[in-house]
Amino acid sequence: MDPQGQEKFLSFILQRVQEGKEEEAKEILMENFKKQQNGTFSNEDVHSFLPRITALLEEEKISEVHAVVRQFSMTFNKTGDSR
């Protein structure tokens, strides 16, 4: 994901997390973005992201975020594992 896409994704997620959980969510996202930039981001990272971020989301936003993550996961799988 390019830096502009990362910024959009970060904003999308942060607008949907529970109040007070923004920093924790941002740390998870920044960790994944760093791995993407380093070329070490893998399918395992995609799949471990979802439960970690879901725990921080507002209940009514979970399905919306899951749909976006699934869409990214499909794109990622088409381009292959970065490792």
Mean pLDDT to the nearest integer, 30-38: 92
Q: Average of pLDDT values for 25-29?
A: 96
> What pLDDT is stored for residue 67 in this prediction?
93
pLDDT of residue 83: 41
Q: What is the mean pLDDT of the chain?
A: 87
Q: What is the pLDDT of residues 45-73, one digit of tens each?
A: 888 989 999 999 999 999 999 998 888 77
Q: What b/e string do you get for 7-43 counting C-beta neighbours within 10 Å, with b at 16 or more?
A: eebeeebeebbeeeeeeebeebbeebbeebeeeebee
Alpha helices in 1-83 (DSSP H): 3-14, 22-38, 43-54, 62-79
Using the predicted structure, report yes or no on whether residue 26 has a pLDDT greater than 50: yes
